[in-house]
Structure 1
Amino acid sequence: MSGLNVSIAFFFLVVGVCQVLRRFSKWLLSPGAYGCLARELAGSLQLCTSCLELRMLLEIGPWGGGFGPDVVLTLFFFLFAVHGASFDGASANPTVSLQEFLLLESNLPTTAAKLLAQGAGVGLGWALTKLYWSWELTHFHFIQNLISSECSSSIHTSLHHAAFVEGTCSFFLHLILLRLRQRHLMFRVPVLAATVTFLTYAAGPFTGAFFNPALATATTFHCSGSSFWDYVWVYWLGPFAGMFTALLLHQGNIPRLFQKNLLYSQKSKYKIPKARVEARVEGKKGGQQSKGQKSNAEPHA
């Protein structure tokens, strides 16, 4: 279990360093630059390094460390709960940033800056994790270094099925994100962590369960076994289609593209009680009758 303890210490170190980076950049930068650049870069760096270490444990742990997937999935849940509590509003996911753009919550320059920061964050996270593995602090890392030069594609099913799996994971993730937007952080964080953990467990054997284009690009696009356009189809277009479908189902429209609600009828938010409506109708009838009586009672000239 010493190797597992080293990995847990690595997780705490990464979260601590990224938290210091957030505090320092918030003090140094303007709120706009912090929100679309530094916050997303720190979140993507934290997410990438943690996921790479977790995937290494998931692949090597059962036969190299004697512990099953339940240990890694438990770590996965707690780690994503920590991510949700410490990200400070960052998404670290391009599909979430594109969703905010389609919801008119961010403009094009802000969205582009977030995407660039996310790409830089996962690239930096991948490089730092590779450097950390090269130190071979545990036998897990020693084995990982031996097999990393010949990594294979994470797509273990047909191309269309893989794109469907990634799109379905993205669909459920974004649908829950949309439903929980107004909920308190104490409720939202564990629900999202449980959702991501379940989706990873269910879809992992087929595609690796990334449903994050930036994370997938940094971790699996360089592996042999699938072409670049296969990866684009599965890990970019699949999650984007899932996000788009979830947004359309939740909103009934796409605010950035069209305002007309295609799925739901627009009803009044406030309903008038039936008794009050009947009282108004009777009042109008009574008023009309009194006016008629008054006009009949007037003398003719």
Structure 2
Amino acid sequence: MSLASLGISALFMVGCCAAAQIARFLSQRLVTREGIVPILINEAIAAAELCACCFELIIVADNFGVSTYAVCLFLLTIWWGRVWGDASACPYTHMEDLVEGRTSFKEMALRSWAELMGGCCVYRIVQVFWWLELAETHRGRAFEACNADLQVSPYVGAAIEGVATLLCRLASKAIGAKEPRFGSYIDSFIGTSLVVAAFNFSGGYFNPVLATALKWGCRGHTNLEHIIVYWIGACAGAILSVPIFKLGVVRRLLVGDDNGSKAKKE
């Protein structure tokens, strides 16, 4: 495939990020900053941005290899970490907050709903772009039947998504606690590495909204299997990270003795 096609994919992803920034700016200007509404709009925008870019990353991975996909994903995650603010575009982060008493069940459910709406609705925009076939890599993709990325049994896939999500969340919590220099780059590198490691087994989504937006109803697994792998597996891993990170031995390993002692006192 030509570099021109890769350039078009890159421009599309940059365009999606720019459009999301414009949407955030307009939201801040037009919507009151009080209440749950601006929070939900921010989550929907972040989820739409995430899923639109990841739809195009599928094109990149299929035609230019996993290494190119990984580089693009790494750069995107760094960008998202800088501009999303309090949005996560991922429901299990709100589940973690619920477990730790930082949010209510209602807010968790509403945020997750907003993320699903933003992530699933953006496909129509991506489909129109693919339909234009500006790049040779887009030929026939707009209305092509999708195939699931799950290459193992649903239970093994759920274990992979769960364990990888657990490791990813533990790493993020440790980085947040230690606040090292270039922490966002380290976090992005760890997340991207885990995605690449799981890529040929479960797809390495580690985000139920992303997996649902990209692969719900695809050939290769049933809807129930999809839920088991990408919702139950990933969410279980994230929720388990909360009590595991509080264990003394884990905190000493990840953030050092001083932080472990401080956590115990608190």
Range of TM-score over shorter length: 0.7 to 0.9
Distance apart, 1:144 and its partner CA: 2.6
Judged with a 3 Å threshold, the aligned counterparts in structure 2 of structure 1 residues 186 and 78 are, in CA distance, closer, same or farther, namely: farther
Segments of 5+ residues of structure 1 without an aligned counterpart are 62-67, 253-263, 271-301
Q: What amino acid does structure 2 have at the position aligned with 1:3?
A: S
Paired residues, number: 252
Q: TM-score with structure 2 length normalisation?
A: 0.87
After superposition, where does 1:212-291 map in structure 2 within 5 Å?
212-252=207-247, 269=265
Q: Aligned partners of 1:11 and 1:226: how far apart in 2?
A: 28
Q: What amino acid does structure 1 have at the position aligned with 2:204?
A: A
Matching of residue 152 in structure 1 with residue 147 in structure 2: yes
**Structure 2 equivalent of residue 110 of structure 1:** 107
**Structure 1 equivalent of residue 30 of structure 2:** 28
**Contact 1:166 1:209 (C-alpha < 8 Å) held by counterparts:** yes
Identity of aligned residues (%): 24
**Structure 2 equivalent of residue 121 of structure 1:** 118
Q: Deviations over 1:215-238 (max 9, x none)?
A: 111111111121111111101100
| Higher mean displacement: 216-225 or 200-209 | 216-225
Mark the structure with the bigger radius of gyration: 1
Q: What amino acid does structure 1 have at the position aligned with 2:29?
A: W
**2:169 counterpart (174, 178, 182):** 174
Q: Aligned partners of 1:152 and 1:187: how far apart in 2?
A: 37
Judged with a 3 Å threshold, the aligned counterparts in structure 2 of structure 1 residues 267 and 41 are, in CA distance, closer, same or farther, namely: closer
**Contact 2:169 2:241 (C-alpha < 8 Å) held by counterparts:** yes
Judged with a 3 Å threshold, the aligned counterparts in structure 2 of structure 1 residues 76 and 265 are, in CA distance, closer, same or farther, namely: closer
Distance apart, 1:186 and its partner CA: 6.5
**Structure 2 equivalent of residue 291 of structure 1:** none
Matching of residue 95 in structure 1 with residue 92 in structure 2: yes
Segments of 5+ residues of structure 2 without an aligned counterpart are 248-259
**Structure 1 equivalent of residue 49 of structure 2:** 46
Matching of residue 15 in structure 1 with residue 17 in structure 2: yes
**Contact 2:48 2:121 (C-alpha < 8 Å) held by counterparts:** yes
Q: What amino acid does structure 1 have at the position aligned with 2:43?
A: E
Q: TM-score with structure 1 length normalisation?
A: 0.77
After superposition, where does 1:193-204 map in structure 2 within 5 Å?
193-204=188-199
Q: Deviations over 1:141-179 (max 9, x none)?
A: 11434xx53322211012221111100111012112222
